[in-house]
Each structure stands twice: as structure tokens, then as C-alpha cells.
Structure 1
């Protein structure tokens, strides 16, 4: 009679006492390691793992961190990919977040020992980057910025019908505004709005005139819109704020994106407040930026809702480092030279071909993403593989996300730094045997 297999299963406390697993419990938490131990014990009972290999099996099954989010190689060619966390932080921002993760002087004046202004250094960096702004505040995303403006300014919001937009995941601007209690006064038609449309709608009950950049779509043909400068000039002296949501977070005009609105120009053209995201073309952490006239910004800052929407110390630290530090990854991707990208693709394709993989360097088109510059492709280069690689690469370690075009998987290099080329090649080689 064979021995009862249950007697061969290592005890839970015995396994947890093993030095390697005890160290893992210190790093990852006892409950997570215990759950991995229990999983391996079941495998020992089933005969899938030898009792003597239990510790190694537990270690192999443990995640690198207690969190479930995994680093991913973005080879989609979409620079600001919402599903992949939008802008990757710069090394300077990551270092700043680490420094701010403990106790900090975020709201303490160390020279006096008294309470100090929250996020003063980040606001100072933002104002230095956008000199047309008198003041600024930061909230947790651009939708929060819009909700705060609508709530604090109150009254009726005058908005062109063609700017009642829907963005990702079914999020609709008019529904957000209505949820704040604001009343919407729609003007113009879907494709055309004139200055007279706006002026006819402005009255004693108007809280603000709002312009929303469509971001992720373009209407062409028989169209008309009113530029910020023209609208600001007509509203001058009426006491009605002009608020512009430019969305993408471009600080100043960029030669690669000549039609994308930027904060500096929009304010210089006469907008009283401008709103934008921090984690798109700015290249920083998720945040909603509000810049403009000091009196209006202070009105927002003193509103009770601001307390619910303000950002934490790590976001402030990352934002300041992004603004003051070296060029962040998204802006480096924007500035990438197509010829350099092509040489990278050719070198990678040669490495993979030498490894027995059907790989080819091809020209491609990248995109800004995140709702920015929807009709402005960026010349790029990619490594083309058989279509079956897409799924295998997503399941690999690290996961690689490309896209399928026809019968090929394309790994676009504009959305990846050159420093990731070795990791990309290794990831492709690692899954080659799984692809039919």
C-alpha cells in the first residue's frame, strides 16, 4: 500500500518559516504568501509538484509586488494610451514620488513651523511654464476641474452644441455638467456656431461661456466655430468668464502638432480660465490643471468642492518634477526622428530573424492618443511579426501590447524608448515557441 499523499504535503507553518518565504512575506505581506503556499500544497497533493520542490514552486508563483498592476511594453504606437495608464512618468518624477512617499513638508513651512501653502512649488513650476496665467490650482483630473468650475461659477453655462462631446468609456461632458446642477444653454448647431449665437445667449443668469476642444474627433465640411480670441474680445466688459477646456495639456505651441490648442496661447488669446489634463501631452501624473485669472482661481480654491478634488503629495511631487526636470517620455516620443525609429526597427528585426523569427522592419503611423490630435498621424517604424504573436506577447512577461494589421502583428517603436529595445527583443524570443 502506498503512503497517504497527504502525509507528504509540507505543513503551512513549516513552509512559511523557510527563510526565502519569510523574506517574501516581509516584502509582499504574509497573507499573499500564505495563499501561494496553499495553492502549491494542493499541487503537491495532486502530484503535480514534488514535496521537496514546494518552496521553489511558491517562489515561482509569487508576484513581483503586492499590487496587481503589471509593467507593460507599449508597442501600440499610441503615445498617450488611456488603457495603459497614459503618460509614463519621467525618471525625475518617479524619484520625486519616492521622496514624497514618506512624511513631507507638503503643507508645512519648515522655517516658521507653521502651516504652509499646499503644493506651492508645483504651482510655481506650472506658472513658470505658462506665464500668461496669473494663478493656478491642481485637482485630480480634467473632469474634476470642469466639475469644480461649473459648480463654483454657478448659473447658466453657454456652450456650443458641437462641443457637447463624449469621450472615452461613454463619458459625456453635458452629463457631467448637468450633474453639478449647472444649467446648459446650448447655442448654434452641430456643425456651425457664430459669435452672435453666443452673445444672444449671454445674460444676467450666465455663469460662464464654456469652450470644449472636441479632442477625439473632427467635423469637416460646412462648419464654423468661434476662436477664443474673437469670443474673448466680444465678451470683454460683460463680466462673464470665458472658460476653455483644451484637454490635452500641451503647455505651449508644438511644431509637431500645429493645430493642437495649448494653454499659453489660449490664455494669451483672452480666456479667463483654461483647463487641461496633466497626464497627456504634458507627460506628468493624472491631474486636472486650472490656470487663469487670479480672482477666478481663488474663487475655485475657496469653494468647498475643491477640498474633495485636490491632489495628494505624490501627485504634486510628480507634477513639479515633470515641469522642472528633463524632457518627460511623452515629449521625447513626440520629438522622435522617424529615420532613427526606422534604424531601431531594422536592428530589432535583424536580431529576431537571427533567432529564427519571421520579422521585418516596416514604416508605420503612430498617434498621440488620449483624445489629442485625432487626425495627425506621426511617422514611425515598427517590427512586423506574424499575427499570432499579438496574443502570445500580451500573455508574456513582461507583457507586450502591439496591434494587428491584416495578417501581421506590428510593434511600433515611437511609443517605446530605445532603452526598451533589448527587453522587447527578449520578450518576442521568449514566446516564439508558443506561436504556431
Structure 2
């Protein structure tokens, strides 16, 4: 059959939209969403990417009811750790580990002895191998939970010393004081908003001091006439020092010179360092605590630790993330500029429209405040942004300067063809 005959044999859009099986498969989708799916499949068939007899099955597959109401999207925003898009995408190995752990596992069983084993020991060992300066590790369900556990176990009924310049608010209006107070501890502010010295902590120390909390300003910057006591200075105080490192950098990274990393904080004397697992580390949502064995054991044995512990799926994904290869988040942060431009130009050629323009990406997720990630994006009309979000697959780009910028920084190379197809469809609708 010639190409002309093959195109003539393609089913009509309205015929597919009236197909009883297609209608059933489209449950829960708007008519416009169904129309976009059908048009996208037909476009691929006209381009020779699908055989005529594969069109209907492909439409049914694309419209099949998902197992979850969560919709996978392509992140073309250029924001690497995008909170609204679920923060860190898992590596292939982490996904494999998660799926493998979905059945029965030895998460709390020693197969050699048949007796109860240490829960999630593989992930804990991987953490200690990644940060050799830590004596012990503990994993809970997010960084806020990690801080709540530390404050409860070490300072319940007592005071937590915090610099006024570190009284942070995180997403959705959650603030540090209510979190500490919910642990049954009292916050005692020390120093000034812009300058806090070691002597401010020393003057506030007393019999009611439970711990000193140092919060790294991951999601904001204070500049000008500023100063703060370092971890090394605070480590000399006669109470536990808990450092909230925030974004989950394990070791120094030249790209993020102002981001506090766990290895350095521990080397400087912190008793406990806590951070998120789904930010710069690039793993599943988790709150990770590293530090002195004696202090971590107090936290592990506290009754609250049971309520905050993670499941086997998180432990499996975390271990796989730590053991490599490099997960998507650090890969996107350190994306090769030439490869970024080459891929963007290839998508532009496949789309047949738009313009490759300079742009600036961001770290996101409350990390790397002020750090710019220079790159390029495919610029298309602003109206394409809404069409891309409602397409199949949904593509989340960003609007800037009256244009829709499609940035491939956080798009996996194997998704470039799908991205190009989605952009083509959005342009056709216009």
C-alpha cells in the first residue's frame, strides 16, 4: 500500500470519537481532551510512525483508565525540583526497586536466622557509605517529621535556641515556631534578624536549654550587613546541635557553593543533620537524619519514631537512589550545555516551528536560592502553555516575556519525541 493509500485508509476523527470502545475508555475526560488524544494519534499515523491498523488500539491505550488519579506530566519548566510536580523524579533503578519491593520482602526479617531484623538496613548502610562522617542514620517520612522527632526526643518541655534570622516559613504557610511548639518544646529566639553571633547563644544557654537548632536558609537569602554563627562555632556549646540542612546535598557541589551539605556539617561538629530525600538527593520523599550514634539511638527509640517511620517502598527507592547511577535531579543540574542545545534544536526541527532562545533554569524545591542555570528553550506562542497542559501527555512549560518556553532540562531524552509531538499538537490547535 502506497503512503497515499495508507493515509486514505486512516479512520476519520469523528468516527473514532463515536467508537463505543473509545467512548468507554475516555471516561472522566472532557470531549476536548479526547479529541486531542485522537488527533495526536492520527498525526503520528500520518507521519508514518504508526500503521493504519494500529491507530484504534493506540487510541484505546492512550485513553485507558489510569490506575491512579495522579497524571504523569513532562516537566518543561526548567525548574529541577518542582514541588508542584512532585519534586524529584525517581531514577529507573529506584523505580525498579520500588516495584520489586511492592510484594513480600525481608524488610524486617533476617533471612539467615529467620529472626526479626533491623528495618531498612540496606538503605541505612547506603546512607552511611554515602556520608562516611555519620555514625548512624535514621529515615522518617519527610524533613518536617525529622525535625519534629528531634525536637520531641531532645527538647520536649525545654527550650530550643534558634536565631531570629532562621525563623523560616516553608511552603503553604507552614512556619518553624508552631512545628517546634507541637513537639512540646519552647522556641527561644537569639540574636537579630540580620546578625546573630555565638555570644547570643551563649547568653541564652541555661538549665532549660534542650538543643540548639541551626536552620540553613535554603529557600531565601539575606544580604548586606549580615552575620551568623557557624556550625563549627555552635558545636562547642554544651547541648546537642541539630542542623536542618534543608535540601539534601550530601557533599560539597561547586554549582551550589552556598548550599550546606551533610558531610561538612557533620565534620564541623553537628550532632544531628537532617534534610529531605526528594530534593537535591533526587530520591523519594523522606526525612533523613545523620549524626552521632548515641543521639540517633535516642531518636530511634522514641515512641514518635514509630508513627513517623517510612514504608518498604520508600526504603527500597532510597537505597537504589544512593547506590546509583546518577538520578535525574543531579543529572539535570549538571546538564551538558552543548547536549541541552542539541536536543532543543532537534525538537525544534521535529516540530517545524518555534525558536531556540536563551533561558535560565532554577534549582527549585527550596534549594539553591538565587542560583541560575543558564540554558536554552524552545519558544512558542504564549497560548500554547494551556494547550500543552491539557494535552496528552500533559506538558508543563512556563510563560515568560509573552512567550511559552519549553525547556528540556528536566525532560528525559527518551521523552523528546513525545514532547515534540505534544508541541506540534498544541501549535496545530492554534
Normalised by the size of structure 2, how large is the TM-score?
A: 0.85
Q: CA deviation at 1:36?
A: 4.4
Structure 1 counterpart of 2:223, from 211, 216, 220 = 220
Q: Distance in 2 between matches of 1:64 and 1:329?
A: 28
- Confirm whether residue 291 of structure 1 aligns to residue 290 of structure 2: yes
Residues 1:360 and 2:355 aligned together: yes
2:122·2:319 contact (CA, 8 Å) conserved in 1? yes
2:94 matched residue in structure 1: 93
Secondary structure in 2 aligned to 1:377?
A: strand
> Quick check: 1:276 aligned with 2:275?
yes
Inter-partner Cα distance in structure 1 for 2:108 and 2:193: 46
- CA distance in structure 2 between the partners assigned to 1:127 and 1:64 by the alignment: 42
* Structure 1 residue 376 corresponds to structure 2 residue 371: yes
**Equivalent residue number for residue 431 of structure 1:** 426
Matching of residue 415 in structure 1 with residue 410 in structure 2: yes
Deviation sequence 1:402-433 (CA, Å, 0-9, x none): 11112210011212222221111011112222
Q: Deviations over 1:232-276 (max 9, x none)?
A: 1x31xx2x0011000110110112112111100110011010000
Partner in structure 2 of residue 72 of structure 1: 73
- State the number of aligned residues: 382
Report if aligned partners of 1:345, 1:362 keep a CA contact under 8 Å in 2: no
Cα distance in structure 1, aligned partners of 2:93 and 2:65: 23
**Which of structures 1 and 2 has the bigger CA Rg?**
1
Match among 164, 174, 177 for residue 174 of structure 1 = 177
Structure-1 separation of matches of 2:61 and 2:302: 51
CA distance in 2, matches of 1:352, 1:176: 49
1:380–1:413: 8 Å Cα contact kept in structure 2?
no
Alignment partners' CA distance in 1, 2:175 and 2:418: 39
Q: CA deviation at 1:380?
A: 1.4
Kindly report which structure 2 residues correspond to 1:12-23, keeping only aligned pairs within 5 A, or say none. Answer: none
**Structure 1 SS opposite 2:138:** strand
Tell me if structure 1 keeps the 8 A contact 2:25–2:64: no
Aligned-partner Cα distance in 2 for 1:60–1:349: 27
Query: Unaligned stretches of 5+ in structure 1?
Result: 1-19, 25-32, 41-54
Matches within 5 A, 1:210-249: 210-232=213-235, 234-235=236-237, 238=238, 240-249=239-248
The residue number in structure 2 matching 1:51 is none
Whether the 8 Å CA contact 1:158–1:187 is kept in 2: the answer is yes
> 2:339 is matched with which residue?
340
Matched, 1:190 2:193: yes
CA contact (8 A) 1:277 1:286 kept: yes
2:148 alignment counterpart: 147
CA distance in 1, matches of 2:61, 2:202: 67
- Per-residue CA deviation, residues 304-363 of structure 1 (Å, 9 max, x unaligned), is 00000000000000000000120101111111112221222222222222xxx3x01111
Work out the CA distance in 2 between the residues paired with 1:36 and 1:398.
Answer: 17
Structure 2 residues not aligned, in runs of 5+: 1-19, 32-55
- Say whether residues 1:208 and 2:207 are aligned partners: no
Deviates more, 1:142-151 or 1:175-184: 175-184
Whole-Å Cα distance in 1 between the matches of residues 170 and 369 of structure 2? 12
Residues 75, 120 of structure 1: alpha-carbon distance in 2 compared, 3 angstrom cutoff: same
Specify the alignment match of 2:107 in structure 1: 106
Root-mean-square deviation (Å) = 2.2
Contact 1:363 1:380 in 2 (8 A): yes
> Structure 1 length normalisation: TM-score?
0.84
